[in-house]
Chain A
């Protein structure tokens, strides 16, 4: 019997919004992953009464990659994320087996009220923001838009139109909430059971397949929508862009919001609608020449590089990650706000008997010099840069979007991760072996000072913010 046959059947389950409906159905068919329904903070669960099966909780969008890589034999995930992988890598080793009766969200293309795709395409380059670049490219290619730019954003693509992109390809619920017009369907959604092709071919998965295939079935529609092409759309000239007069500021939501509100308050700056307890998309500044928008901090370096904002508050980690992909991007750090401190670095298993990354590499390759070292990270470009700079040799970068502490050591050798105190790492029997950078939050802007009043306003904000930091 080979090792592959003796290892347990591995099933990837989604966290987030899908956790509750999936957990309920799993229990109903006698496939109860211990602690899954309760939202346990541990990532691996056995299955009650079924030996030889382990489950692991992932972000929905990471599950297709894990199953395609063969790290998991089976998985339950949104069809949108499955097809996001399959339209780009049709040779991939995922087999969609069955749609469940869980309604996931669908994906649409949307724009500002009154927007018309054909008219936009005839006017020039069409800018499209999306979290789903592969599905978006598949759709836009078939729509035959002559010239488009995809902004691959981390989240909240619906926040980009109309000021920062003409269109967004995003979940229907999100674009509707944002007040955009839905202009077409891109993906019909659904939640599916998927399997690794080689595992199906070579392993007996029946102990898990039997109960999972007993889950209630949904209507099996084709998920990916193929639009009718725009006809007669010739290449348009570049869209004329008028010089912006408003001074635009991007402020973050999420974890970074609290720190940014505090840093602004210390500098005597406040925006109505941007407080510690909540935020609207467009907070209001006292100065009518200043326009404020709330965005994800991960997307701010791109938005500034594109010239959409004069000042943005993000983390130095995201700035560094962006620079790892686009080193020539015309953005600079204007002020280090010295808040939200944490270390970013290479994390390995606590049990690894090594002190340095070089020793770790030697240990992993001791028995197999050609072994591929897997580096998992939310900061994929930074992980790639790290692997190159540390001469990892043959390596693969596994992009992930959360639940990161569960990856090492089973699903990756190295995790590129940030930590404030190390508590979470220790709780997961991990440790940081190599520090890449100390990150804090910061204000960023264009490498070129904006002209006129926008430049004066930038100077004013940067001076106020820097003065507070200097004062300690």
Chain B
């Protein structure tokens, strides 16, 4: 699942504010100079990904709403911001949406291929989400790797993201790494139902210290690990070792997740990319099943992604692992525009 966010920070040299009222709110024009930068980013993206055997695909702008309503696709809060409507033949009540997320659409395409083969795909296409302020049409470039397990795919995707930023001439790349499976294992070991797990994790993300106290009460033997998770960010693979020592005796189900996180950290060690491990605060809990990451250049977040092993099956395909990342193409164009 890939996500990109827009912030007021990106209201941008390329974003003209129209006072005429002739352009829809949240939509923008890209003039000749902006398009030249856009194409430069697109070219770098397609060349970098093609060199790693990622084949370009494109999915339709309109998809059925129900593709996004199953648990494990979009959260209810995200669904509240989709552009959905009844098509001209929608008398059956089946709503359609302007593609709110590229990954679910690409997973639907993969599911329709009907096998669990390894497929590497890249896309450049917009997603549409309501935002009270900021952009409502976001051009994403991204990759998805289906059928490959974490052991090989996570590292490949991290290095591909780094290479893409390198191809754009962006230096000072840093990364934030997380793993959804670790917190999930802890919450499950504390005896919480799937619904309670989501609620508890939301409280954690909101900085509610009480949730750690609640979990400690339910799982006293994991008290040290919970404090480590909630209050200490990791700076090296050594942190994962500390976490393993503190957590596994009481939550042995976290072992695989810790191994995957450590493997991803070691890939970044080898590549010389500085990183932070934010295990207890990874966002988008509902979506990710494994390693999730955000990569920045020069202090500005450029790429985000992660592992979503259940998605292909959720959208009707055979069970197959999946992972990917995406970037806000126009935002990257702005960054390189500012630099040049």
The stretch from B41-49, B85-93, B205-213 touching chain A is: B85-93
Contact of B88 among A150, A152, A235, A327 (CB under 8 A): A327
The stretch from B65-73, B224-232, B267-275, B293-301 touching chain A is: B65-73
In the complex, what residues of B have CB within 8 A of residue A128's CB? 93
CB-based nearest B residue for A130: B93
Contact of B93 among A87, A150, A322 (CB under 8 A): A150
CB of B315 within 8 A of CB of A235, answer: yes
- With contacts A148-B66, A229-B195 taken as known, whether A326 is within 8 angstroms of B76 at the C-beta atoms is no
- With contacts A141-B79, A231-B193, A370-B21 taken as known, whether A146 is within 8 angstroms of B95 at the C-beta atoms is no
1/0 per residue B113-129: CB within 8 Å of A? 00000000000000000
CB-based nearest A residue for B66: A147
Instruction: Assess whether B94 is interfacial by the CB under 8 Å rule.
Output: yes
In the complex, what residues of A have CB within 8 A of residue B94's CB? 149
Instruction: Assess whether A234 is interfacial by the CB under 8 Å rule.
Output: yes
- B residues 73-109 near A (Cβ < 8 Å) are 76, 79-80, 86, 88-95
What separation, in Å, do the CA atoms of A231 and B86 have in the docked complex?
Answer: 28
- With contacts A231-B194, A235-B314, A325-B86 taken as known, whether A146 is within 8 angstroms of B91 at the C-beta atoms is no
What separation, in Å, do the CA atoms of A128 and B89 have in the docked complex?
Answer: 18
What separation, in Å, do the CA atoms of A228 and B197 have in the docked complex?
Answer: 13
CB-based nearest B residue for A87: B80
CB of B91 within 8 A of CB of A329, answer: yes
How far apart are A314's CB and chain B's nearest CB, in angstroms? Answer: 14
- With contacts A141-B69, A146-B70, A235-B315 taken as known, whether A328 is within 8 angstroms of B195 at the C-beta atoms is no
Instruction: Assess whether B51 is interfacial by the CB under 8 Å rule.
Output: no
Instruction: Assess whether B249 is interfacial by the CB under 8 Å rule.
Output: no
CB of B91 within 8 A of CB of A234, answer: no
CB of A144 within 8 A of CB of B91, answer: no
CB-based nearest B residue for A146: B70
In the complex, what residues of A have CB within 8 A of residue B93's CB? 127-128, 149-152
CB-based nearest B residue for A326: B91
- With contacts A127-B93, A152-B93, A370-B21 taken as known, whether A234 is within 8 angstroms of B69 at the C-beta atoms is no
CB of A326 within 8 A of CB of B88, answer: yes
What separation, in Å, do the CA atoms of A146 and B64 have in the docked complex?
Answer: 12
CB-based nearest A residue for B131: A91
In the complex, what residues of B have CB within 8 A of residue A147's CB? 66, 69-70
In the complex, what residues of A have CB within 8 A of residue B193's CB? 231
Instruction: Assess whether A305 is interfacial by the CB under 8 Å rule.
Output: yes
- A residues 96-151 near B (Cβ < 8 Å) are 127-128, 138, 140-142, 144-151
What separation, in Å, do the CA atoms of A233 and B94 have in the docked complex?
Answer: 19
1/0 per residue A320-338: CB within 8 Å of B? 0010011111000000000
In the complex, what residues of B have CB within 8 A of residue A149's CB? 92-94
- A residues 195-249 near B (Cβ < 8 Å) are 228-229, 231-235
How far apart are A241's CB and chain B's nearest CB, in angstroms? Answer: 12
Instruction: Assess whether B132 is interfacial by the CB under 8 Å rule.
Output: yes
- B residues 6-40 near A (Cβ < 8 Å) are 21
CB of A146 within 8 A of CB of B69, answer: yes
Instruction: Assess whether A316 is interfacial by the CB under 8 Å rule.
Output: no
Instruction: Assess whether A90 is interfacial by the CB under 8 Å rule.
Output: yes
CB of B80 within 8 A of CB of A231, answer: no
In the complex, what residues of A have CB within 8 A of residue B86's CB? 325-326
Contact of A326 among B70, B90, B195 (CB under 8 A): B90
- With contacts A91-B132, A150-B95, A234-B70 taken as known, whether A138 is within 8 angstroms of B88 at the C-beta atoms is no
Instruction: Assess whether B191 is interfacial by the CB under 8 Å rule.
Output: no
Instruction: Assess whether A296 is interfacial by the CB under 8 Å rule.
Output: no
Instruction: Assess whether A458 is interfacial by the CB under 8 Å rule.
Output: no
In the complex, what residues of A have CB within 8 A of residue B315's CB? 235
Instruction: Assess whether B171 is interfacial by the CB under 8 Å rule.
Output: no
Contact of A229 among B66, B71, B79, B88 (CB under 8 A): B71
Interface-centre pick from A87, A144, A228 (highest chain B CB count, 10 A)? A144
What separation, in Å, do the CA atoms of A151 and B71 have in the docked complex?
Answer: 22
What separation, in Å, do the CA atoms of A138 and B79 have in the docked complex?
Answer: 9
Number of chain B residues whose Cβ lies closer than 8 Å to a Cβ of chain A? 25
In the complex, what residues of B have CB within 8 A of residue A232's CB? 194
What separation, in Å, do the CA atoms of A128 and B94 have in the docked complex?
Answer: 11
Instruction: Assess whether B316 is interfacial by the CB under 8 Å rule.
Output: yes
CB of B89 within 8 A of CB of A306, answer: no
Instruction: Assess whether A302 is interfacial by the CB under 8 Å rule.
Output: yes
CB-based nearest B residue for A328: B89
Contact of B70 among A235, A301, A306, A325 (CB under 8 A): A235
Contact of B195 among A138, A228, A302, A329 (CB under 8 A): A228
CB of A231 within 8 A of CB of B195, answer: yes
How far apart are A254's CB and chain B's nearest CB, in angstroms? Answer: 22
CB of B92 within 8 A of CB of A144, answer: no
How far apart are B91's CB and chain A's nearest CB, in angstroms? Answer: 4
Contact of B92 among A231, A235, A306 (CB under 8 A): A306
In the complex, what residues of A have CB within 8 A of residue B80's CB? 87, 90, 138, 141
In the complex, what residues of A have CB within 8 A of residue B132's CB? 91
In the complex, what residues of A have CB within 8 A of residue B194's CB? 231-232
- A residues 288-329 near B (Cβ < 8 Å) are 301-302, 305-306, 322, 325-329
What separation, in Å, do the CA atoms of A230 and B88 have in the docked complex?
Answer: 31
CB-based nearest A residue for B93: A149
What separation, in Å, do the CA atoms of A127 and B94 have in the docked complex?
Answer: 10
In the complex, what residues of A have CB within 8 A of residue B66's CB? 146-148, 235
CB of B76 within 8 A of CB of A142, answer: yes
CB of A305 within 8 A of CB of B69, answer: no
- B residues 254-308 near A (Cβ < 8 Å) are none
How far apart are B158's CB and chain A's nearest CB, in angstroms? Answer: 31
How far apart are B76's CB and chain A's nearest CB, in angstroms? Answer: 5
CB of A326 within 8 A of CB of B89, answer: yes
How far apart are A186's CB and chain B's nearest CB, in angstroms? Answer: 14
What separation, in Å, do the CA atoms of A329 and B90 have in the docked complex?
Answer: 9
CB-based nearest A residue for B82: A141
How far apart are B139's CB and chain A's nearest CB, in angstroms? Answer: 24
Contact of A231 among B69, B71, B316 (CB under 8 A): B71
What separation, in Å, do the CA atoms of A286 and B66 have in the docked complex?
Answer: 42
Contact of A233 among B71, B88, B90, B195 (CB under 8 A): B71
In the complex, what residues of B have CB within 8 A of residue A235's CB? 66, 70, 314-316
What separation, in Å, do the CA atoms of A87 and B195 have in the docked complex?
Answer: 22
How far apart are A366's CB and chain B's nearest CB, in angstroms? Answer: 19
What separation, in Å, do the CA atoms of A151 and B95 have in the docked complex?
Answer: 10
CB-based nearest A residue for B81: A90
What separation, in Å, do the CA atoms of A234 and B95 have in the docked complex?
Answer: 19
CB of B91 within 8 A of CB of A141, answer: no
In the complex, what residues of A have CB within 8 A of residue B89's CB? 326, 328-329
What separation, in Å, do the CA atoms of A50 and B11 have in the docked complex?
Answer: 48
Give me 9 other A-B pairs in contact (C-beta within 8 A), A90-B80, A148-B66, A150-B93 excluded.
A128-B93, A140-B69, A141-B76, A141-B79, A146-B70, A146-B71, A235-B70, A327-B88, A370-B21
Please list 11 pairs of residues, one from A and one from B, whose beta carbons are closer than 8 Å in the complex, sorted by A's number: A87-B80, A138-B76, A144-B76, A148-B66, A150-B95, A152-B93, A229-B195, A232-B194, A235-B66, A235-B316, A328-B89
Interface residues in chain A, defined as those with a beta carbon under 8 Å from any beta carbon in chain B: 87, 90-91, 127-128, 138, 140-142, 144-152, 228-229, 231-235, 301-302, 305-306, 322, 325-329, 370
Q: Which 5 A-B pairs have the closest CB atoms?
A: A149-B93, A146-B70, A305-B91, A147-B66, A326-B91
Interface residues in chain B, defined as those with a beta carbon under 8 Å from any beta carbon in chain A: 21, 66, 69-71, 76, 79-80, 86, 88-95, 132, 193-195, 313-316
